[in-house]
């Protein structure tokens, strides 16, 4: 009976080990990479203030400057886990596929909601992501626009940019107004 229990345990552990996802070698690498991305929140045609919460989280955080600093300090913020959802979670915000709640720590909570729309017009919550913030600033279109699984948009390299936007369909999403802050980083 003991041999049977040990055998079942060994098989179970082996199966779980082969099924887990590993971030080993997938960038950003914990303790190695230090990337930055400008971000803004665009609510029905107006930019919202940058999030003022400065929690470090898993090493994906901001210094209240409209820049996400991606230097993973744990597996929860490295590799495929380095997402805008991890950043917003550290900033006491919650990004879903049809609602975005942020700003609760500064006393002025804001909710962007597809249900509420924009001034009575239907709207979609989406993320426009530019791999190169300088190209975004020069007018290049986003490299990707995501409308589902928003919290899992990954950081793929340094000097990116993204805008979380609630806008009517067909509206051009502007790049973050915080891109210039990339030139004045104090924590690199």
Residue 145 forms part of a structural domain:
yes
| pLDDT (0 to 100) of residue 1 | 73
Residue 96 forms part of a structural domain:
yes
Number of domains in the chain: 1
Q: Which range marks the domain in which residue 130 is found?
A: 28-184
Residues 6+ apart with CB under 8 A from 144: 128, 129, 153
| pLDDT (0 to 100) of residue 55 | 75
Residue 12 forms part of a structural domain:
no
Closest C-alpha among 150, 138, 149, 146 to residue 174:
138
Residue 15 forms part of a structural domain:
no
| pLDDT (0 to 100) of residue 23 | 61
Residue 97 forms part of a structural domain:
yes
CB 70 within 8 A of CB 38: no
For the purposes of burial, counting CB atoms within 10 Å of the CB of 16, is it exposed (0-12), middle (13-18) or buried (19 or more)? exposed
CA dist 44 and 167 (Å) reads 5
Residue 21 forms part of a structural domain:
no
Tens digit of pLDDT for each residue in 133-188?
999 999 999 999 999 999 999 999 999 999 999 999 999 999 999 999 999 886 55
| pLDDT (0 to 100) of residue 17 | 42
Query: Which regions in the chain score pLDDT beneath 70?
Result: 4, 6-7, 9-24, 54, 104-106, 186-188
| pLDDT (0 to 100) of residue 95 | 97
Residue 23 forms part of a structural domain:
no
Residue 63 forms part of a structural domain:
yes
For the purposes of burial, counting CB atoms within 10 Å of the CB of 156, is it exposed (0-12), middle (13-18) or buried (19 or more)? middle
| pLDDT (0 to 100) of residue 16 | 41
């Amino acid at each position: 009976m003991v041999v049977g229990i040990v055998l079942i345990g060994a098989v179970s552990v082996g199966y779980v080990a082969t099924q887990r996802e590993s971030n080993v070698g997938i960038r950003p690498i914990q303790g190695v990479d230090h990337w930055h991305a400008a971000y803004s929140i665009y609510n029905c045609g107006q930019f919202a203030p940058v999030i003022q919460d400065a929690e470090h989280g898993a090493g994906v955080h901001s210094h209240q400057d409209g820049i996400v600093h991606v230097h993973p300090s744990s597996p929860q913020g490295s590799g495929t886990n380095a997402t805008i959802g991890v950043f917003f979670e550290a900033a006491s915000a919650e990004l879903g596929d049809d609602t975005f709640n942020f700003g609760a720590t500064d006393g002025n909570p804001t909710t962007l909601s597809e249900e509420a729309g924009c001034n009575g017009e239907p709207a979609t919550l989406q993320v426009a992501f530019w791999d190169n913030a300088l190209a975004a600033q020069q007018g290049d279109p986003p490299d990707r626009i995501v409308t589902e699984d928003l919290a899992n948009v990954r950081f793929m390299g340094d000097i990116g940019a993204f805008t979380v936007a609630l806008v009517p369909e067909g509206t051009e999403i502007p790049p973050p107004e915080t891109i210039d802050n990339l030139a004045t980083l104090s924590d690199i």
